[in-house]
Amino acid sequence: MIILIGLPGSGKSTVGRLLARRLQLPFVDSDSAIEQRLGCSIREFFEREGEARFRDEEQALIDELTQAAPCVLSTGGGAVLRPANRQCLRERGRVFYLRSSPEEVFRRVQHDRSRPLLQVADPLQKLRELYAQRDPLYRETAHHVVETGRPSVASLVNWIAAQL
């Protein structure tokens, strides 16, 4: 089980899809799996039920997915917030932290309206806060830290594949 963690917009889905193709493994995106299960978008669910209920669903799903058939698993950016998830991810897979600076992420996601946590007056400031809070948690959970500032996604995928 190969697991990708990192801030929203750090490239987990893009890298995960390519890595899965390269390793001939299925690709699973935990956000898409949650949306399928809930029958609505994460954004709607956040608005209707609140973040805590979303985290419950996320935790249950991570527990299930990390015990299912091997795959490349891309997780939501907040998956590391709960200690139980951190332990489960680290013990059940090889975890790669895609580390991007808040400024780099902001450039990528500034026009994306699908991320509920970034629907605020100052998304860059929000990303800086998320980074300060989560960077230590991502590092604690990961076996490898991958700097996403590399020249191409292909070279990122190569680097990850070479660690396996």
Positive or negative CA dihedral for 115, 117, 123, 126? Answer: negative
Q: Quote the tokens at residue 137.
A: 């948690």
Interface size with ligand S3P, residues (CB under 6 A): 9
CB of 22 to ligand S3P, least distance (A): 21
CA distance 147 to 48: 35
Does residue 115 touch ligand S3P according to CB under 6 A? yes
Pair 85, 140: CB distance under 8 Å: no
Binding test (CB under 6 A) with ligand S3P, winner from 2, 4, 8, 138? 8
Residue 116 binds ligand S3P, judged by CB under 6 A: yes
76 contacts ligand S3P (rule: CB under 6 A): yes
**Nearest C-alpha neighbor of 6 from the set 103, 116, 142:** 142
Stretch that binds ligand S3P, among 16-24, 73-81, 138-146, 152-160 (CB under 6 A): 73-81
Contacting residue, 1, 31, 141, 160, with ligand S3P by CB under 6 A: 31
Q: Between helices 153-163 and 12-23, what is the axis angle to 10°?
A: 60
Annotated binding site: 9-14, 31, 55, 77, 115, 134
